[in-house]
Amino acid sequence: MNNNENPLDAKDSEAALAYAAERRDNIREFVRTNPDYYISQFDNIGENANFTPTLNIMAGIFGPIWYGARGLWSWALPFLILEMLAFVQIFRGLFGDLAAEAFARIASIENTLDLRRQQLAAALESGSSKVDVYKRTVEALEAAIGGIREEAVALSEQGVTIALIGLSILIISKCIQAIVANWALEARFSDWLSDRTIRSSLPVSNIIFSALFVILIIAAAVFHYSFPGKIVILSNFPTNPEYRLFSIAKVEAFFSFCVANGEVVFDFITYGIRLILDALELAFVTTPWIVIASLIVVLTWLTAGIRTALWSGAFLSYMGLLGFWEKAMTTLALLGTAACLSIVIGIPLGMFCARRRRFYSFIQPIMDFMQTMPAFVFMIPVIAFFGTGKPAAVVTTMIFGGTPVVRLTVLGLRGVPDSVREAAISFGANKWYLLTKVDLPLASPSIRAGINQTIMLSLAMVVVASLIGAKGLGEDVLEALQYANVGQGILAGFSILFCAMILDRIVQGKRK
C-alpha cells in the first residue's frame, strides 16, 4: 500500500468492490439468463435516479410473453391489450369481412322489401288507394339498400388502411416494450433484494403459462373480430335458462324458510327499532320548533364555534320558512335511529376486531358486500323480513351506512403507537385503563371520522328509504322525480344537504 494513501479510503474502496461483487452475484442469481448483459444494464440504470432508456431485443420481440415470464404482470397486461388491438386490426384489415354487418342489414331490408313489393302488386291489381304509400315505401327501402351497399364497398376498401394502423400500433408497442424492459426488471430486482419470496430467474412454468395465456387471449380476440359469428362460444357465454330458474327457486325457498321460522326474531328487532324511532320522533317532531332550533344552534356553537352556529341557524331558517321543518325533523329521527344503532354496534365491534385479525378478516368480506351491493338489491330481503315502513328503512340504512364506523375504529386502534401502549403497561396500566385512557383517546380522530361517514352515508339513503315507506325529505324528492317537479326537488335536496352539513360540523367540529 502506498504510504501516502489514507487507510480510510482504502477501506472504502475495498467495501465498494465487495458491494459491487455482491451485487453482480445477486443479479446473476436473479436473472439466471445472460447475466453479463443485465449486470451492465442494471449498473447503467442504477447510476441515474431518473428513467434510463435501454434496449432489450428479446422483450421487444416476445412482448407480453417476456414480461409475464419475468413476473412483470403489471406491465404485461397493458402491453397485451395494445398488442391484441394491433393484431385484431391487422387480421381484420387483411382477412376479415369488414362489410359483413352491412350485408346482414341489406338481407334484413330485402326481406321487408319483398313483402312491400308483394303488397304493392296486390294494391295495383285491386286498385287500392294505398298504391302511392306502397310505392314510396318500396322506393325508400331500395334507396336504403343502395346506401348500405355503398357503405359496404367503402368499408371493404379500408382493409389495407386498417391493417397498416394495426401494424403501426404493434411496432410502437414493441419499441416501447424493448425500451422499458430493463428498467422495469431492475425495479423488480430491487424489490427482490429486500424480499426474496419474490419469484426470480426465468422458470419454465412461467414461460409456458405466459405464452399460452398471451396466445389464447390474442387468438380469441382476433377470431372474434375478424370472423364474427364463426365461433359461437366466443360471442355467447355457454349457459342454460334452467340454471337461472333453478337458482331463483332455491333463493326464494331460502327466504321463505327464513321468514317462516324467524318471525319472532324479526318482530323483536322491529320492536326495538320502533322504540328508538318513536322516542326520537317525539323529541324532534312534537317538541316546539324554537326549542329544537335553539338546542341545535347551541350544540353547534359548543362544538364548532360561533360562525358555524350562525350558519346552522341560517340553514334551520331555510327549512322552516320553506315548510320543510316537520319533514326535516322526521328525517333526522329516522337518520338518528339508524346512525345511533350503527354506532352502538359498530364501535364495540371495531374495538373487538382491532386486536383479533382473524375475526376481522372474516367479517371484512361481509362489510364489503354491505357497501358494494346496490341498495335496491338488499331492500328486497329487508322488505321480505320486515315489510315496508320505517323499521325496514332503518335496517336498509344501517346496512348501507354502518360499515365505515367499524373500519375506521379498527384503523384508529391499530394506529396507536406500540411504544405508547408499552409505556402505559410498564407503569401498571390494566386493560380497561389502557383502552379508555390510551387507545380510545389516541384513536378518537379516526373513530369520529367513522361516525361522520356513517351519518353521511345514512343521510344519503333518505331518498332510497322513501321508496319503502319512510317519510321525510326523501318523500318530497321522490315525488319531484315522479312528476318532474324541478323546483320542489331542488329545494328539498338543499334541505337534505343542510341537514348533512349541520350534523357534519357537530360531529367533526372543535371549538378553538
Q: Per-residue pLDDT tens for 116-138?
A: 778 778 777 777 777 777 788 87
Residue 344 grid coordinates: 352502538
Domain boundary among the residues 157, 181, 205 is at: 157
* Residue 177 φ/ψ, nearest 5 degrees: -65, -40
Q: Per-residue pLDDT tens for 295-347?
A: 888 888 888 788 888 888 898 898 888 888 888 888 888 888 888 888 889 99
- CA 271/CA 250 separation, integer angstroms: 30
Going by C-beta distance under 8 Å and a sequence separation of 6 or more, which residues neighbour residue 181?
54, 56, 59, 60, 66, 67
Q: Are residues 347 and 397 in the same domain?
A: yes
String of DSSP letters for 476-502: HHHHHHHHT-HHHHHHHHHHHHHHHHH
* HEC string for 42-102: HHHHHCCCCCCCCCCHHHHHHCHHHHHHCCCHHHHHHHHHHHHHHHHHHHHHHCCCCCHHH
Domain boundary among the residues 112, 142, 157 is at: 157
* pLDDT band with cut points at 50, 70 and 90 for residue 260: confident
Going by C-beta distance under 8 Å and a sequence separation of 6 or more, which residues neighbour residue 278?
none
Res 61: pLDDT: 92
Residues making up the chain, counted from first to last: 512
Res 512: pLDDT: 42
- 251 lies in some domain: no
* pLDDT band with cut points at 50, 70 and 90 for residue 5: low
Res 50: pLDDT: 80
Cα–Cα nearest to 453, from 415, 500, 499: 500
Count Cα neighbours of 236 within 13 Å in the Cβ-side half-sphere: 6
Q: Per-residue pLDDT tens for 195-229?
A: 888 887 788 888 899 999 999 999 998 888 877 77
- Residue 339 near residue 454, CB atoms below 8 Å: yes
- The three-point CA angle 204-208-212 to 5° equals 170
Res 97: pLDDT: 67
Res 1: pLDDT: 47
- 245 lies in some domain: no
- CA 339/CA 403 separation, integer angstroms: 11
pLDDT above 60 for 484:
yes
Q: Are residues 47 and 141 in the same domain?
A: no
- 263 lies in some domain: yes
Q: What's the whole-number mean pLDDT along residues 448-463?
A: 82
Q: Are residues 198 and 136 in the same domain?
A: no
Res 180: pLDDT: 93
- CA 167/CA 165 separation, integer angstroms: 5
- Residue 189 near residue 27, CB atoms below 8 Å: yes
Q: Are residues 82 and 178 in the same domain?
A: yes
Q: Which residues of 399-409 are buried (b: 16+ CB within 10 A; e: fewer)?
A: bbbbbbbbbbb
Q: Are residues 313 and 268 in the same domain?
A: yes
- Residue 442 near residue 420, CB atoms below 8 Å: yes
Q: What's the whole-number mean pLDDT along residues 241-266?
A: 86
Cα–Cα nearest to 465, from 370, 376, 346, 384: 376
Q: Is 472 left (phi over 0), alpha (psi -120 to 50) or beta?
A: left
- The three-point CA angle 447-504-294 to 5° equals 120
Helix axes of 159-194 and 73-94: crossing angle, nearest 10 degrees:
170
Res 287: pLDDT: 82
Q: What's 283's DSSP letter?
A: I
Cα–Cα nearest to 499, from 293, 304, 346, 345: 293
Res 238: pLDDT: 80
Q: What's the whole-number mean pLDDT along residues 168-188?
A: 92
Look at residue 34 and give its three-state secondary structure.
coil
Give the dihedral of Cα atoms 364, 370, 372, 376; nearest 10 deg. Answer: 170
Q: Are residues 284 and 263 in the same domain?
A: yes
Q: Are residues 52 and 200 in the same domain?
A: yes
Residue 226 grid coordinates: 375478424
Going by C-beta distance under 8 Å and a sequence separation of 6 or more, which residues neighbour residue 147?
none
- 296 lies in some domain: yes
Helix axes of 375-386 and 263-281: crossing angle, nearest 10 degrees:
110
Summary mean pLDDT of the chain = 83
Cα–Cα nearest to 211, from 65, 113, 328, 109: 65
Q: Are residues 188 and 318 in the same domain?
A: no
Q: Are residues 436 and 387 in the same domain?
A: yes
Q: Are residues 402 and 462 in the same domain?
A: yes
* HEC string for 174-233: HHHHHHHHHHHHHHHHHHHHHCCCCCCCCCHHHHHHHHHHHHHHHHHHHHHHHCCCCCHH
- 11 lies in some domain: yes
- Residue 327 near residue 476, CB atoms below 8 Å: yes
Q: What's the whole-number mean pLDDT along residues 261-269?
A: 83
- Residue 96 near residue 226, CB atoms below 8 Å: yes
Helices (H) then strands (E): counts for the chain:
25, 0
Q: Per-residue pLDDT tens for 59-117?
A: 999 999 999 999 899 999 999 999 999 998 898 888 776 666 666 777 777 777 787 77
Q: Is 169 left (phi over 0), alpha (psi -120 to 50) or beta?
A: alpha
Q: Per-residue pLDDT tens for 387-436?
A: 877 888 888 888 888 888 999 999 998 888 888 888 888 888 788 888 88
Share of the chain above pLDDT 90, in %: 13
Minimum mean pLDDT among 147-151, 254-258, 342-346, 359-363: which range?
147-151
Res 155: pLDDT: 64
- 221 lies in some domain: yes
Going by C-beta distance under 8 Å and a sequence separation of 6 or more, which residues neighbour residue 253?
none
pLDDT above 60 for 263:
yes
Look at residue 374 and give its three-state secondary structure.
coil
- 247 lies in some domain: no
- Residue 8 near residue 170, CB atoms below 8 Å: no
- 243 lies in some domain: no
Per the structure, the count of domains in the chain is 3
Q: Are residues 149 and 187 in the same domain?
A: no
Where do the H-state alpha helices sit in 282-374?
A: 289-304, 306-321, 325-354, 357-372
pLDDT above 80 for 172:
yes
* pLDDT band with cut points at 50, 70 and 90 for residue 511: very low
Tell me the CATH number at 493. Answer: 1.10.3720.10
Minimum mean pLDDT among 52-56, 84-88, 262-266: which range?
262-266
Question: Which residue segment(s) compose the domain that 326 sits in?
Answer: 258-508
Res 6: pLDDT: 58
**Cβ of 277: how many Cβ atoms within 10 Å?**
21
Q: Are residues 140 and 216 in the same domain?
A: no
Domain boundary among the residues 116, 135, 157 is at: 157
**Cβ of 248: how many Cβ atoms within 10 Å?**
10
